[in-house]
Amino acid sequence: MTQSRAGLAIVTGASSGIGRELAGLCAAAGYDLVVAADERSIEESAHALRGCGVRVDALNVDLATAAGVDCLHQAVRGRRVDALLANAGHGLGGPFLDQDFTQARHVIDTNVTGTLDLIQRVGRDMRAQGRGRILITGSIAGFIPGTFNAVYNGTKAFIDSFAAALRDELKETGVTVTCLMPGPTQTRFFERANLADTKVGQGRKDNPADVARTGFDAMLKGEADVVSGLERALEAVAAPATPSGIRADPHRRQTTPVAKADRI
C-alpha cells in the first residue's frame, strides 16, 4: 500500500478514551496510523480505524518501558512521521504514602519518561526532515496540586511545562508542539486510577470526542496550548495567581472517596 496523502501519524493510548478519538480524527483526515497501547484491545481499535480506508498498524506495548518505546520507534523506521500524538497516560488515586511504589513509578514512567523518550526519538527525525506536528496530552491537573492523585498531577505539571519549552526550542524548525490540557473527561481514566468512587469520578465530565477535536484542530494549526471547554479555560487562567494551598483543598474534596467526603 502506498503512503496516504496526509502522511503517517503515531497515536499512543489509542485503545480508549481521548486517544481513540484522536486516532479516529487522524484516520478521517486520511493519515495512515501506527497506534499503540498496553492491552490487546488496541487490535479492536485498529480494526475499526481500517474502516476509514487508511493503513493501520497496531502495537501492544508498555510505553512505560524503554523496550516498549523502542518497539514503537522501530515500527515506523524508514517511514516519514508527519504527526506524533503522545497521549498514553494514567493516574493513581489514594494517599501517596499508602501507595505501592511500583505502581507510582509506572505512572511516572508512562506519563513522563516513556512519553519523553518517544518524543525525543520521533522529534529528532521530524527536525531532520524540517516538518512535523507533535500533540502532547497534558492536563489542567498540571496547574493543581493533586491531593490523592499527587503523582499523576505532578507528571502533568511536568508535561505541560515540558511541552511549552520544547515548542519554543523547535520554533523555526518546521516542527510544532501543541499541548492539549483537558479537564475531567468521560473515559476509563477514573476507574483505572481507582478514583471512580470520588466526586470527580462521579461528576460531570467533558465528552472525549469534543476534547480530542479541540486538540486535533489545534495541532493541525500548530497552536501552543489548548484547554478544552470554557470553564476549564477559566480555571487554567486563574490557577497561576492562586496560592497552592488554596488550589489543593478543592482537589482534596474532589478525590476523596465519596463515603468519606461528607465527613471532611
How far is Cα 110 from Cα 158, in angstroms, rounded to an integer?
13
- Size of residue set near ligand NAP by CB under 6 A: 30
Supply the minimum distance, in Å, between the C-beta of residue 72 and ligand NAP: 9
List 136's β-bridge partners, or say none: 86, 179
Q: Which of 143, 152, 190, 216 is catalytic?
A: 152
* Least distance in angstroms from the C-beta of 195 to ligand NAP: 9
Distance CA 107, CA 45 (A): 23
**Per-residue interface string for the shown chain with ligand NAP, residues 108-137, x marking contact by CB under 6 A:** --x--------------------------x
- Among 139, 176, 255, 256, the residue binding ligand NAP under the rule CB under 6 A is 139
The single residue among 79, 192, 252, 253 that binds ligand NAP, judged by CB under 6 A, is: 192
Which one of 80, 188, 221, 260 is in contact with ligand NAP (CB under 6 A)? 188
187 binds ligand NAP (CB under 6 A): yes
Q: Any idea what DSSP says for residue 97?
A: G
Residue 93 interacts with ligand NAP (CB under 6 A)?
no
Which H/E stretch holds residue 48? helix 42-50
Smallest distance, Å, CB 169 to ligand NAP?
22
The grid coordinates of residue 239 equal 490557577
Q: Residue 152 catalytic? A: yes
In angstroms, the CA 84 to CA 168 distance is 17
Can residue 88 be called a binding residue for ligand NAP (CB under 6 A)? yes
| Least distance (Å) between residue 160 CB and ligand NAP | 10
Residue 153 interacts with ligand NAP (CB under 6 A): yes or no: no
Q: How far, in Å, CA of 195 to CA of 99, rounded?
A: 14
Q: Which is nearer to ligand NAP, 80 or 188 (CB)?
A: 188
Helix (H, G, I), strand (E, B) or coil at 50: helix
Under the criterion CB under 6 A, does residue 149 sit at the interface with ligand NAP? no
Q: How far is the CB of 166 from ligand NAP (least distance, A)?
A: 16
Q: From edge to edge, which strands make up the β-sheet containing 225-227?
A: 56-60, 32-37, 8-12, 83-86, 132-137, 175-181, 225-227
Residue 103 or 242: which CB sits closer to ligand NAP? 103
Which of the 8 DSSP states describes residue 252?
A: H
Q: Which of residues 3-62 bind ligand NAP (CB under 6 A)?
A: 13-19, 37-39, 41-42, 62
What's the rounded Cα separation, in Å, for the pair 257 and 8? 42
Tell me the H-state helices in the chain: 17-28, 42-50, 66-75, 101-108, 115-129, 150-169, 189-192, 199-202, 208-221, 230-238, 244-255, 258-261
Site for ligand NAP in 197-256 (CB under 6 A): none
Cα(237)–Cα(223) distance, integer angstroms: 17
Amino acid at 264: I
Residues classed as catalytic? 152
Q: What residues make contact with ligand NAP under the rule CB under 6 A?
A: 13-19, 37-39, 41-42, 62-64, 87-90, 110, 137, 139, 141, 182, 184-185, 187-189, 192
